[in-house]
Amino acid sequence: MIHNYLNDLNDAQQKAVINTEGPALVIAGAGAGKTRVLTYRIAHLLNKGVPAGKILALTFTNKAAGEMKGRIAGIAGPEIARYLWMGTFHSIFARILRIEGERQGYKPNYTIYDASDSKSLIRSIIKELNLDDNIYKPGAIAARISTAKNNLVTASMYSADHGMREYDNASRMHLMADIYRIYAMRCFKANAMDFDDLLMNTNILFRDFPEVLAAYQDRFRYILVDEYQDTNYSQYLIVKKLAAVHRNLCVVGDDAQSIYSFRGARIENILEFRNDYTDYQLFKLEQNYRSTQTIVNAANEIIANNDGQIQKVVYSKNEPGERIMVLQALTDMEEGFNIASDIFDKRFSQQLNWSDFAVLYRTNAQSRIFEETLRRKNIPYKIYGGLSFYERKEIKDILAYFRMVINHEDEEALKRSINYPKRGIGDTTVQKIFELSAELNITPWSIIAESGKYIEHFNAGTLKKLLGYVEMINTFSLNCGTLDAFVKAKEIAFGSGIMKELRDGKLPEEISRIENIEELLNGIKIFTEGAETNGEPSTLEAYLANVALLTDQDNEKDEDRDKVTLMTMHSAKGLEFKHVYIVGMEDTLFPSPLSAGSARELEEERRLFYVALTRAEKQATLSYALNRYKWGNLERSNPSRFLHEIDKKFLNFPQTGGKPFRTSFLREEPQPYPARARLKKAGNYLAQNSTSFSGSDPSEFSEGDAVLHDRFGNGLIVSIEGEPPNTTASVEFETNGRKKLLLRFAKLKKI
């Protein structure tokens, strides 16, 4: 018997859980317990007798799906929960396509190309067509193809669309449509789909095979969608089709946290839900369990400035908490030191973990300064959304072998594995294989597997090496469908020669690569044990299907746990930290200058600020610099307009004696900042006193001082370290860059 889980919910949450019939829109404010509502709603359906296999739950990370399934298993029992269809959009529809994809010409063992595979294939096509990769940039082309697919525009539709061809011509990419066509053809020939294909092909499957759509409409009597505001057009259509018969669709989300339009997310999906389902029920979860009252109230003031939203009033019953600290720095480097020092002080004075702190910025480029300043204070950190474990060379190398073993047609895996470790199959041979493949319209594997047929193209030594590679891959393929993934992966790691290659190396990075492969094998072991426990396939094919769909949040390892997190605000969605620093709060940086001319885009930037602020549990700090380096020049900045949208009673200005920053800057003519004025004064002083220069007493200097040096000119002290007489200062000079000077010998003049 399921325990009385409803007692764990507040009134609003209970209503959202027990009203299971018909379309429902659950608007969940930040920290309002939406995951709990989704979990308990599914548990409630199971308690009512709905078979687990009739429930479809779609999330945006495998981690979220796993946590929810674990909670449901704890309430309803693991034997019931294991039959739920629960996972990310991509993982669920990849599963359906493995069952139904043969109708579209795909084999069930198809490969899923990640972003780097897609770019590699596009790069090859650009080279084959002899195009200029400065015009035809692989990243831009991959993004254009992705946008087309997410709007259900196939290669043939793209080619026939006059507007798209005109856009490409204006961009000097006259052959964009041809690249898309060749890319789609090559993926199909390689029995591969990229991430966007998983959604587009599902839509095409349901369109072209109505009997398949009908079967899944019947199967999924209840559909639940998390983070509905982040769905794109393709995802929206799939959900709408599947829910058309039974109409028991529950979508959960928050329009105030819609921040992914650059990925194709459509806020209209959640705002217009009421138009799609006129008989819908609306449930609002407005109690924030995460943050202090001060943080919640400040966030409400920010988002109230947006017009396009579903009205709600989020509140908190937690302690009032400290006011939000606003830090002002003279320069961007000083901003970095301010934040690093504050983290260091709070960590030890409040007995916190490093992982309790996060620094959020608008662009990835801002991380450099914070990496430098944290390193100088020996503060451990991790960059969230940086190079994924699965993007490391040695991991991609061994995964390429796994992919070849499962799917011999995988072109990208073949390219990566055919001559690694080196076996004497050079680039010229590989190029010849692919040219023959294109000429004869067969796969590269077909060429090398039957290379004896093409003896005029390869010499005897090369033929022997090609057949050796084929024999090795075929040997690895034996028992692949019966042995568990760990046994087979270990066989490939050692049998391919990869482990020997790395062990023979003497460099430290090669030792690190061996450790990474060991970590991969450990992960595969954990996967097989979990799959066997849950009664799911534990083969190498099942492992590959799982690992191809992992997201950043799924990739975190134990070694990353107790570190300060550095990330973009976009990456912070769904996470929470005790202390959050939102940096670069300047009007030329956040909101992004690209949004300045569009009210719609400015509203999305404001939603991004709302998301960033509501990541904080106990305390939030907002930081800006009065001067920031851009293209080597120190340029003045204004505080972000978003700072002025928060009532000053929620803010604390410790550096200015409690006085807020200038509030009317948007209406004033630009005035030089004090730092600029001091620098100018220093320059004038140097010109007037160049013959009689003497330095100030070293004890007079503080961080942020404008100074003068007889050789380097005028500058700003960024940091001071050490004890007298060995005190050093890092000084950013206007024309000579940064210098580290021993103050007792530097002869710096304080201005």
Report helix, strand or coil for 273.
Answer: helix
Q: What number of other Cβ atoms are within 10 A of residue 284's Cβ?
A: 19
Sequence-separated (6 or more) residues with CB below 8 Å from residue 25: 251, 270, 273, 274, 280, 281, 282, 283
**Catalytic (active site) residue 227:** yes
Q: How far apart are CA 428 and CA 277, in angstroms?
A: 59
Helix (H, G, I), strand (E, B) or coil at 519: helix
> Per the residue annotation, which of 20, 35, 281, 462 is the catalytic one?
35
Q: Which long-range contacts (CB under 8 A, 24 or more apart) does 716-724 make?
A: 716/330, 716/331, 716/334, 716/675, 716/679, 718/331, 718/333, 718/334, 718/337, 719/333, 719/334, 719/337, 719/376, 724/698, 724/699
Residues sharing a CB contact under 8 Å with residue 673, sequence separation 6 or more, in sequence order: 626, 627, 636
CA dist 263 and 726 (Å) reads 52
Question: CA 586 to CA 279: how far, in whole Å?
Answer: 44
Long-range interactions of 34-37: CB distance < 8 A, separation 24+: 34/226, 34/252, 34/253, 34/254, 34/285, 35/64, 35/67, 35/68, 35/226, 36/8, 36/9, 37/9, 37/13, 37/252, 37/285
Give ∠ CA 228-579-34 in degrees, rounded to 5: 25
- 681 is a catalytic site residue: no
Pick left, alpha or beta for residue 353 (phi over 0 → left; psi -120 to 50 → alpha; otherwise beta): beta
Query: Which of 13, 229, 257, 366 is labelled catalytic?
Result: 257
* Residue 728 amino acid letter: T
Cα–Cα nearest to 268, from 283, 253, 281: 253
- Selected catalytic residue, list 13, 14, 34, 217: 34
Residues ≥6 apart with Cβ < 8 Å to 153: 161, 164
Is 257 an active-site residue? yes
> Is the separation of the CB atoms in 483 and 537 below 8 Å?
no
Q: Which residues contact 15 (CB under 8 A, 6 or more apart)?
A: 283
428 in catalytic set? no
Candidate list 100, 194, 197, 227, residue with the active-site label:
227
Residues contacting residue 27 through CB under 8 Å, at least 6 positions apart = 253, 254, 255, 282, 283, 284, 285, 310, 312
Distance CA 502, CA 509 (A): 9
Residues ≥6 apart with Cβ < 8 Å to 631: none
- Which among 426, 422, 434, 427 is positioned nearest to 397, based on CA atoms? 422
Residue 31: HSE in the Cβ half-sphere, 13 Å Cα cutoff: 26
Q: For residue 25, what are the β-bridge partners?
A: 251, 282
The yes-or-no answer on residue 606 being catalytic is no
- Is residue 550 a contact partner of residue 604, using CB atoms and an 8 Å limit? no
Residue 654 · residue 341 · CB < 8 Å: no
Distance, in Å, from the CA atom of 168 to the CA atom of 281, rounded to the nearest integer, reads 44
The encoded tokens of residue 98 equal: 């493995």
Catalytic residue among 100, 196, 197, 226: 226
Q: How far is CA 438 from the centre of its chain?
A: 36
Q: How distant, in Å, are the alpha carbons of 27, 295, 339, 622 from that of 291? A: 18, 6, 21, 16
Question: Residue 422: which residues within 8 A CB-CB, separation 6 or more?
Answer: none
Residue 226 annotated to the active site: yes
The Cα 554–Cα 87 span in angstroms is 12
- Helix (H/G/I), strand (E/B), else coil: 327: strand
CB 224 within 8 A of CB 25: no
Residues classed as catalytic: 34-35, 226-227, 257, 615
